[in-house]
């Protein structure tokens, strides 16, 4: 097992605290994103990796859909993530 994999396993097992992240206030939708990050961190700390992955996916999907709808000049006729 490589050094990188060993560090990731240590973080996931709770042996080593993982890096923390926060979005600066001027960032797009920073409050909501910071709330999601805190919930993901709490889930990982509690050993609930499945919830952390679910929250991460929901966060990425929701923020991408919102970003795409705000930035795309030609609005797609669907809200399907793959189509966006």
Q: Tens of pLDDT along 31-78?
A: 777 888 889 889 988 989 999 999 988 888 877 777 777 777 666 666
pLDDT at residue 26 is higher than 60: no
Task: State the pLDDT at residue 78.
Answer: 62
Task: State the pLDDT at residue 58.
Answer: 84
Residue 71 belongs to a domain: yes
Residue 59 belongs to a domain: yes
**What is the spatial distance between Cα 20 and Cα 22, in angstroms, rounded to a whole number?**
7
Q: Output 4 or 73, whichever has higher pLDDT.
A: 4
Q: What is the count of structural domains for the chain?
A: 1
Task: State the pLDDT at residue 34.
Answer: 80
> Exposed e or buried b for every residue in 25-38, given b needs 16+ CB within 10 A?
eeeeeeeebbebbe
Domain that holds residue 71: 20-84
Could you tell me which of 30, 40, 20, 24 has the C-alpha nearest to residue 63? 30
Residue 11 belongs to a domain: no
């Amino acid at each position: 097992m490589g050094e990188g994999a060993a560090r990731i396993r240590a973080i996931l097992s709770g042996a080593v605290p993982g890096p923390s992240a926060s979005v600066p206030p001027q960032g797009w939708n920073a409050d909501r994103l910071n709330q999601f990050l805190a919930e993901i961190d709490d889930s990982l700390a509690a050993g609930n990796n499945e919830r952390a992955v679910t929250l991460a996916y929901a966060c990425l999907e929701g923020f991408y859909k919102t970003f795409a709808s705000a930035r795309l000049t030609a609005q797609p006729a669907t809200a399907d993530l793959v189509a966006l």
